Structure 1
Amino acid sequence: MNFLPQKTFTGKYLKNLTLYVFTAIVGGVLAGHYAPGESIKLGVVSRYFFMILEAFILPVIFMAIIYGICQLSEIKNASNIVWQTILYFLTVGSIAIILGIVFGSIMQPGSDTGIDISYINTTLPKNFEIENGDLSTLLYLNRHGIFLLISILTGIIMNLSSKKEKFLNLLERGTSIFYTVIKYLYFILPLIIFCNIAYGIAVYGINTLLPLSKVVATVYLADIVFIFGILGLISYGFGFNLWTFLLGIKEEIILVITTSSSKTAFPLIFEKMESEGYSRKILRFIIPLGYNFNLAGACIYISVTCCFLIQFYNISLGFNDYLWLFIIISVTSKTASGVPGSGFLALIFTLNRFGKIPLTDIALLYSVDRFMNEARSVTNFIGIAVSGAIISKINQHQKDEIPSA
């Protein structure tokens, strides 16, 4: 399946974004180093930006899921696509968790760290403090899952409605409006990236990264192996060229890396993949679900960091303990689909449910979480995009919608 240049919004805008981003990064590093006091204040800019962005993207996901369910019902083998999606998500997610545990066990990032807690910023923001059994916290962590469930139920009901076509036209118009607003928000991304980098350098700096560089390196290495090893093999098995595909969505990947959020590219990946001939109906069903159920980057991140803490505290666990941890991560990783930082919340949620790893020095990992956020986000995004492409490839006999390879 070959990618040809397309004159899309992403192609026009992101063509020059790399230069803007590089300038923003350099400026952020300099500002964080030479003006730390002022740079710390810039953290609020990116935080509010992602809150606003999420407020716009969630309705888009809501509409995309409803649209996907309604359109999917018109495909003859819809039930097969549903089962293929479930099987794919479960298989890939399980592989990601096992891969994270394996790399964490082999690399031993938490053993003999020589870390002196007094030299590392271990202050945990109040919004990351989770009380066991707190209903409001559980609802907040699972808000995307609840939102997804409501979307699916609405889609099923609307699919049975006699006014289905009218409602779909309304969804199309609504989605178009939200896409336009979100795209204009992207014009201030270099400013947001500048604030993000300046804040990170001012608060943490390189001195924080060095003692914990092994856990960061383990996460990055596991993600690289997952993308080019696991996804590469899966893609090859279905006659699908992963490298060509990644080159085709490189602009969206850059966007995810620089913002540390896979959701920033959500509206744009539809435009890019649909312009390349992938099934609109299948993509609008697979990709929104992927943002909640196909988060391989989060699975790897949580697995590796749990291994780090197990080794850091020298905790002895048996096979049954790791099996229970695997099950918990399978569930809690689904809460890591929000704005930057949601992966760390999912980690705390995991530790709370597991109960055998103390949270005493959890802020130790928070100090380098932002360095792992890019790898987590881009792995999530690539995994989601590839799932849409592969399910489309499997069902390429839908000749009116799927291009031949």
Structure 2
Amino acid sequence: MEKTSFKDWKRYTIKSLAFWVVVGIVAGITLGMLNPSLAVQAKPGIDWFIQALKWLVGPIIFLTIISGIVGLESLKEVGSIGLKAFIYFEVVSTFALAIGILFGNLLKPGHGMHLDVESLDVSAVSSFTANASSQTGSVWGILKSAIPTDPITPFLHGNTLQVLVMALVIAIGIAAFGEKYKEAILAPLEKVQNVFFKILTILMWLSPVASFSAMAFLIGKFGIASLIGMASLLGVMLISVLAFLFGVLGIILWFYKINVFKFMRFIAKEVLIVFATSSSESALAPLMKRLEAAGVSRGTTGLVIPTGYSFNLDCTNIYLSLSIIFLAQAFGIPLTLSHELSIIFILMVASKGAVGVTGSGFIVLAGTLSAMGDVIPVATVAVLLGVDKFMSEMRAVGNLCGNAVAAVVVGAWDKQIDMEKFRYALDHPESVEDAIPG
């Protein structure tokens, strides 16, 4: 009994990636508090890790979508999954936008701040606002930006949307050739995909170092004390995200007889890694592998998860709508019901228009404020710079959870999931660990 207990202890501590990620987080926070100047110099650790991930995530998404679609029985299944995913994305992401506005109005995080636009340092956000009109605001602009100028740049720059479009076109072309060609192409594709997953497994063991660098820089640069002035916004953001995850997503999962708390425990390892690195990309491939091992079809995970990272960023939507309400309150600008409805309609398009763009949160915010006319000055987004890094953890974690739920729901809706196997995996998460990178 003692020997078994010791093995379990080693499995969940010394041999567990999640354990070392926690160690990295604690060490980074400690350094940030004790020696801020040294902690700020740790930033390259997280920058290099995210850059390496971007190089890997592009090929993994590309290969996963192609093998997933080619592996489906017919193009009819591709259209069925895609249509249901699109409907789900639009409905749920709209709920997310509404939740941001609802909690912003109920809890009033910016009320009583009495900020003045004239006192802002607009130079801090000039690079974001300058790109706003070109990156957001029209369906045509989004479609145009989804078409790559060449087949290499999207992989080098980590442009998920362009990689997604290329993979879909190639996969549908291969699937149209017929069973003979599909089988000949699928086997080598899967071998190459496995090579990238093995490389990812090695890279993921560097995530504790990235976690340390990210937390050290965060605390060293902004300091815990810098949160006090914006604590209300961070608090309302946290409440909104939790309400969405355990309220909206919880109800959706309940319809499929899935316990939301068991589900969140099931993906806890990926959630922890995303929280530590502030990047949803860090757990994209492991999440797909985990869901596939639990009974969701490869075609569903391969199509829904990568597409969701472009079109189903639920908690980014909460951040965007809540931030606009916060800015209006902080600067004493009254918003009518008409204004709030226009925020939802504009963000339904604009929130999908800056995928893969650095500083996309500010670009989308600036674009939305510009589209609203002179109701809220675009320069007001400068107020959010100090806490955006802290809010990015909540956005990244929430987006991960939202896309995981989307894959399960679309899979169940399209009968592309073994529900008996999936429920067993929720009760016994350790049963799928061997199939997951890292």
Q: How does the TM-score come out when normalised to structure 1?
A: 0.86
Deviation at 1:123, TM superposition (A): 7.3
Give the length in aligned residue pairs. Answer: 393
Residue 81 of structure 1: aligned partner: 81
CA distance, structure 1, for counterparts of residue 312 and residue 189 of structure 2? 25
Q: Match for 1:204 among 219, 222, 226?
A: 222
How far 1:348 sits from its partner (Å)?
3.4
- The answer to whether the 8 Å contact 2:132/2:367 transfers is no
2:249 pairs with 1:231: yes
Indicate yes or no: 2:315 matched with 1:310.
no
Tell me, yes or no, if the aligned pair for 2:110 and 2:329 is still in contact at 8 Å.
Answer: yes
Give the 3 Å change call, closer, same or farther, for CA 15–100 of structure 1 in structure 2. farther
Residues in 1 aligned to 2:14 and 2:54: alpha-carbon distance in whole angstroms: 20
Structure 1 residues 251-302: Cα deviation after superposition (integer angstroms, max 9, x where no partner): 1111111111111111111221222222222221211111111111111111
Structure 1 stretch displaced more, 324-333 or 97-106: 324-333
Which residues of 2 match residues 118-197 of structure 1 at below 5 A? 124=124, 128=128, 130-134=130-134, 143-161=159-177, 163-197=181-215
| In the alignment, structure 1 residue 366 sits paired with structure 2 residue 385 | yes
Residues 1:73 and 1:343: Cα distance change in structure 2 (over 3 Å) = farther
Report the more deviating stretch, 108-117 or 249-258: 108-117
Instruction: Name 1:8's counterpart in structure 2.
Output: none
Q: Is the 8 A contact 1:219 1:304 kept in 2?
A: yes
Q: Percent identity?
A: 29
* 1:58-137 correspondence to structure 2 within 5 Å: 58-74=58-74, 78-113=78-113, 124=124, 128=128, 130-134=130-134
Is the 8 Å Cα contact of residues 347 and 368 (structure 2) preserved in structure 1? yes
State the distance in 1 between where 2:379 and 2:97 align: 24
Tell me the CA shift for residue 100 of structure 1: 0.8
Instruction: Give, in angstroms, the shift of residue 382 of structure 1.
Output: 0.6
2:402 match: 383
Structure 2 residue runs of 5 or longer lacking an equivalent are 1-10, 147-158, 424-438
Q: Is the 8 A contact 1:396 1:404 kept in 2?
A: no
* Distance in 1 (alpha carbons) for counterparts of 2:121 and 2:229: 12
Give the Cα–Cα distance (whole angstroms) in 2 for the partners of residues 24 and 379 of structure 1. Answer: 21
**Cα contact 2:311–2:352 (8 A) shared by 1:** yes
Distance 1:207 1:47 in 2: 24
What amino acid does structure 1 have at the position aligned with 2:268? K
Distance 1:48 1:116, change over 3 A: farther
Shift of 1:118: 12
TM-score (normalised: structure 2): 0.80
Paired with 1:194 and 1:313, the residues of 2 have a C-alpha distance of 36
Which of residues 272, 275, 278 is equivalent to 1:257?
Answer: 275
Q: Indicate if the aligned counterparts of 2:310 and 2:355 stay in contact, CA closer than 8 A.
A: yes
Summarize the alignment of residues 310-329 of structure 1 with structure 2, pairs less than 5 Å apart: 310-329=328-347
* Cα pair 1:278 1:389 within 8 Å, conserved: yes
Distance of aligned partners of 1:79 and 1:152 in 2 relative to their CA distance in 1, 3 Å threshold: closer
Counterpart amino acid of 2:32? G
Question: Where does residue 6 of structure 1 map in the other structure?
Answer: none
The letter of the residue matching 1:103 is: F
Question: Which stretch shows the higher mean deviation, 73-82 or 360-369?
Answer: 73-82
Contact 2:24/2:209 (8 A) holds in 1? yes
Counterpart amino acid of 1:150?
Answer: M
Q: Which range moved further: 141-150 or 382-391?
A: 141-150
Change (3 A) 1:64 1:254: same
Do the aligned residues in 1 keep the contact of 2:129 with 2:367 (CA within 8 Å)? Answer: no
**Structure 1 residues 41 and 348 mapped into 2: Cα distance closer, same or farther (>3 Å)?**
farther
Give the superposed CA RMSD: 3.2
| Offset, 1:339 | 8.6
Say which is worse superposed, 171-180 or 295-304, in terms of deviation.
171-180
Deviates more, 1:277-286 or 1:313-322: 313-322
Query: Residues 222 and 214 (structure 1 numbering): CA distance in 2 closer, same or farther, change over 3 Å?
Result: same
Distance 1:52 1:300 in 2: 28
Matched, 1:274 2:292: yes
1:202 CA drift (Å)? 1.7
Q: Please give the secondary structure, in 2, of the residue aligned with 1:112.
A: coil
* Structure 1 residues 303 and 157: CA distance shift in structure 2, 3 A: same
Q: Distance in 2 between matches of 1:135 and 1:189?
A: 31
